[in-house]
């Protein structure tokens, strides 16, 4: 890729930073601290859903684009089409809110220390909140994530705070932890526990168990999948399915 093309792509992502917000580690809700390699790209084409025991929210088709803009620094952009429905209301489909985040690795993993990253993100209200397709205001997530690996096993997790001033919404804490194992070069499987506090005036928060993994067709192309359900708090049935490319 020429330096001109790289500079143009970086400029596009930086402009989106002025207008965009916060991501997890597909296919899970818990994020990892590993940024995209310097001058490399990652693309996820996916759909994910949340059935809340009557109402449902589906993001898909959706696109996540990550770029290693600097050493230990990743820019991330997510653009979803969103479907909401249930609870006796009409099904609505359209552009959802746009997310942009910057993941910065503060500490590399050593024998005695995990790697640690700070991943602030902002979500812009590009979806039509009046139709239930967005939050209605810009909001922020401020998490810290860490990871440690040994052999074929990896564990990561952390959490932080979400700051949301939209009508009917609340600031809330969130966090999760995950354990996964590589089964050869092609298959990785794992499970997580993820929880968050009340994010709305009529919400109770929840904790959920989620299981999934990825199948690597080669070093550049993978299938990702997960599914789970809440174990306390509000009812949530969660799922994710996506394709991943890197170059």
Number of domains in the chain: 1
Quote the pTM value.
Answer: 0.87
pLDDT at 204: 92
Q: What CATH number does the domain containing 104 carry?
A: 2.40.160.40
Model confidence band, residue 23 (pLDDT cutoffs 50, 70, 90) = low
Give residue 175's domain range.
Answer: 3-246
d(CA 126, CA 55): 21
Average pLDDT, the chain: 90
Of 29, 37, 107, the closest CA to residue 68 belongs to 37
Render pLDDT for 111-159 as a digit per residue (tens, 0 to 9).
989 999 999 999 999 999 999 899 999 999 999 999 999 999 999 999 9
Q: Find the mean pLDDT for residues 90-109.
A: 96
Cα 168 → chain centroid: 23
pLDDT at 8: 37
CA distances (Å), origin 233, targets 28, 101, 210: 19, 28, 15
């Amino acid at each position: 890729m020429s330096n001109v093309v790289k500079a143009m792509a970086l400029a596009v992502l930086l402009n989106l930073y002025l207008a965009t917000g916060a991501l997890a580690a597909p296919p899970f809700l818990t994020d990892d601290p590993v940024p995209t390699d310097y001058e490399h790209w990652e693309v996820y084409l996916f759909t994910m859903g949340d059935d809340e025991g009557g109402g449902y929210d589906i993001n898909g088709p959706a696109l996540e684009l990550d770029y290693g803009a600097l050493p230990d620094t990743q820019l991330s952009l997510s653009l979803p089409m969103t479907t909401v429905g249930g609870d006796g209301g009409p099904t609505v489909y359209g552009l959802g809110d746009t997310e942009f985040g910057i993941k910065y690795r503060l500490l590399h993993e050593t024998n005695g220390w995990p790697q640690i990253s700070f991943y602030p993100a902002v979500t812009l209200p590009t979806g039509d909140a009046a139709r239930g397709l967005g939050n209605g205001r810009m909001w922020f997530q401020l998490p810290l994530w860490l990871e440690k690996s040994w052999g074929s096993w990896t564990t990561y997790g952390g959490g932080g705070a979400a700051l949301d001033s939209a009508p009917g919404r609340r600031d809330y804490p969130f966090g999760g932890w995950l354990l996964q194992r590589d089964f050869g070069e092609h298959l990785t499987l794992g499970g997580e526990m993820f929880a968050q506090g009340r994010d709305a005036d009529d919400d109770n928060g929840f904790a959920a168990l989620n299981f999934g993994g990825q199948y690597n067709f080669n070093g550049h192309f993978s299938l990702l999948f997960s599914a789970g359900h809440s174990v306390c708090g509000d009812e949530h049935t969660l799922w994710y399915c996506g394709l991943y490319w890197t170059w």
